[in-house]
Amino acid sequence: MRIIGKKPIGMLGACVTAAIVLSACNTGDPVVGKQKSVVCQSCHGVDGNSTNPQFPRLAGQYPDYIVQALSEYKSGERKNPIMSGFAASLSKRDMQDIAAYFASQKSVLHVLKR
């Protein structure tokens, strides 16, 4: 059993604590991300709700997905000459900030009920 402060915690508690700390380290800043996403906004929209069906809507998307996609464009795993060029100059932190900004935006996509 591990002790944090004066209270003993079990393995589950230690794992949850570690996950929270790691999650906080991988979270971008949406305010900074808005500034960094200016180039993205020309295709994906100011708030990530592109009106052109050629460009994906990023608003409300999971931040981990956006970071993964940008990383894959940067590495060449995903092939798109425009996105690869943009992603090439981004650091991991830049990607996290941009992802946090778009993830924090409200998507205009709606689920149709049948």
For residue 96, give its domain range.
29-103
Contact (CB, 8 A) for 9 and 68: no
- pLDDT-derived band of residue 113, with 50, 70 and 90 as boundaries? confident
pTM of the model: 0.74
The pLDDT of residue 109 is above 90: no
In residues, how long is the chain? 114
DSSP element (H, E) containing 88? helix 81-88
**Residue 97, pLDDT score:** 98
| Domain total in the chain | 1
Neighbouring C-beta atoms of residue 105, cutoff 10 Å: 20
pLDDT tens figures, 7-53: 555 655 554 544 444 444 569 999 999 999 999 999 999 999 999 99
Q: Check which CATH number belongs to the domain holding 56 and give it.
A: 1.10.760.10
Residue 13 lies in a domain: no
Residue 63 lies in a domain: yes
Residue 23 lies in a domain: no
